[in-house]
């Protein structure tokens, strides 16, 4: 039974990568933390399953890397793309100045369960599952907590010195705090489907294939995660044409037959629409509240960099705010330091994504353009090294601060 009132140092809304990483780091530093996760578990299809080299470096600094890499995963040293039947290397991680010179593909629920298990072993950490944040508590001109509801609908008031929104691109926290947002749009969406593997499938050593005319495939062990890029807002029209017509479109640009897709996909719920958004808050914080990760800057899935950027936000936030939280109050000036530190890497990565989406909407000469790009990439061996650094590390990699010998504990 949930108590009607909870007092904590920091209330984090959203149990995704940013929320759980921040919760773990703050609890590790001695801060009392309560994380709200609206679902009962972390099992969701088609979440970002990439663990970047910089995230693996963070796990090393936390002393968790060996245990983490014991979990089932795939190691990808190079990301490859297919352009008119020819494969080119898009990003090369093998020369990065990190301990792990690869990207790990792992179901996100495994990563989140790993973080949650380690966080829950700390005395100051509480994870409330099946608990949905409904509104922000306000007093004396600042946010001072959250009103939430558990599985039975019983209201729960959580009082905190700081509320952090890590609740994604549909963030309740950023909406309730009226934080101004700048939207950049995106010309396309993605439909994700799962296709069971067969023994005769080509070996995708890199774990990544595509894009081939707006098609991408990710190796998930016993199945392929296939993404089909569609024009923004066209999903309803595709549904009206029927599932068979849609699967024929996918098969036309995929290395698999229509019959293979038809056998695996029997109904529309197996095709999951990802509505792509690129936006960012102009102001990440207000008195008593802060947004990070997708709640502060929604990213395109290009490069899988959204998860990595969110985790870097969490590390920077913990580094900057753990000490003020231990004292029981965080000023707006201190909260704004998080945005100042993370502003440039966010702007730089979003700018690249916007450029790569071709938002200028000019007609594209697909055949010649893609063919010419593939040939140009093969003649520029240095390009994959640069893109590997951008995707693998971002523009500002964060490192968790070491704990002092004696870490004070804040009251629960």
Which of residues 2 and 270 earns the better pLDDT score?
270
Range of the domain at 321: 5-183+278-393
Classify residue 412: in a domain, yes or no: no
Give residues with Cβ within 8 angstroms of 127, minimum separation 6. 15, 20, 23, 34, 35, 37, 116, 119, 120
The most distant pair of C-alpha atoms in the chain lies apart, rounded to whole Å, by: 66
Is 119:111 a contact under the CB 8 Å cutoff?
no
In a domain, 410, yes or no: no
173 plus 225 within the same structural domain: no
406 inside domain: no
Is 90 exceeded by the pLDDT of residue 42? Answer: no
Does residue 95 sit in the same domain as residue 25?
yes
* Helix spans in 146-257 (H): 172-176, 235-241, 243-253
Are residues 263 and 151 located together in one domain of the fold?
no
Q: What is the CATH number of the domain that holds 44?
A: 3.50.50.60
Inside any domain, residue 381:
yes
407 in any annotated domain: no
**Interval 289-333: pLDDT, tens:** 999 999 999 988 777 788 999 999 999 999 999 999 999 989 999
pTM of the model: 0.86
DSSP line for 189-207: EEEEEEEE--TTS---TTS
The predicted structure's pLDDT at residue 83: 62
Q: Is the peptide bond before 215 cis (omega within 30 degrees of 0)?
A: no
Residues 294 and 388 in one domain: yes
Q: Does residue 81 carry a pLDDT above 80?
A: no
pLDDT category of residue 355 using cuts at 50, 70 and 90: confident
Residue 402 lies in a domain: no
- 26 and 149 inside one domain: yes
CA proximity to 300, closest of 395, 206, 187, 170: 187
Q: How many domains does the chain have?
A: 2
């Amino acid at each position: 039974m949930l108590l009607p009132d909870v007092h904590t140092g920091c209330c984090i809304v959203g149990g995704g990568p940013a929320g759980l990483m921040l919760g773990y780091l703050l609890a590790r530093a001695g801060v009392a933390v309560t994380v709200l996760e609206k679902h009962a578990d972390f099992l969701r299809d088609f979440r970002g399953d990439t663990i970047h080299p910089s995230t693996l470096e963070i796990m090393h600094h936390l002393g968790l890397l060996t245990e983490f890499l014991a979990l089932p995963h795939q190691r990808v040293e190079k990301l490859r793309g297919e352009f008119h039947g020819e494969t080119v290397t898009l990003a090369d991680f093998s020369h990065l100045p990190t301990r792990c010179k690869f990207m790990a593909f792992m179901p996100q629920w495994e990563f989140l369960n790993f973080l949650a298990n380690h966080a829950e072993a700390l005395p100051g950490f509480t994870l409330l599952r099946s608990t949905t944040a409904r509104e922000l508590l306000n007093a004396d001109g600042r946010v001072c907590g959250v009103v939430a509801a558990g599985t039975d609908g019983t209201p729960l008031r959580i009082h905190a010195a700081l509320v952090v929104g890590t609740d994604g691109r549909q963030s309740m926290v950023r909406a309730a705090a009226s934080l101004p947002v700048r939207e950049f749009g995106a010309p396309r969406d993605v439909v994700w489907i799962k296709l069971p593997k067969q023994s005769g499938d080509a070996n995708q050593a890199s774990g990544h294939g595509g894009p081939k005319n707006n098609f991408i495939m990710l190796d998930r062990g016993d199945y392929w995660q296939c993404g089909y890029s569609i024009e923004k807002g066209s999903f309803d029209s595709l549904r009206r044409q029927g599932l068979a017509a849609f699967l024929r479109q996918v098969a036309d640009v995929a290395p698999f037959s229509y019959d293979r897709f038809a056998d695996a996909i029997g109904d529309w719920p197996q095709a999951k629409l990802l509505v792509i958004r690129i936006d960012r808050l102009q102001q990440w914080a207000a008195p008593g509240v802060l947004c990070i990760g997708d709640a502060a800057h929604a990213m395109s899935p290009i490069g899988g960099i959204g998860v990595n950027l969110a985790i870097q936000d969490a590390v920077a936030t913990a580094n900057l705010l753990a000490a003020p939280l231990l004292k029981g109050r965080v000023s707006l000036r201190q909260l704004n330091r998080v945005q100042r530190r993370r502003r440039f890497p966010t702007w730089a990565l979003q700018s690249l994504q916007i450029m790569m989406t071709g938002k200028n909407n000019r007609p594209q000469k697909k055949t010649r353009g893609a063919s010419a790009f593939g040939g140009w990439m093969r003649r520029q061996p240095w390009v994959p090294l640069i893109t590997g650094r951008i995707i693998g590390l971002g523009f500002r990699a964060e490192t968790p601060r070491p704990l002092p010998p004696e870490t004070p504990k804040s009251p629960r």
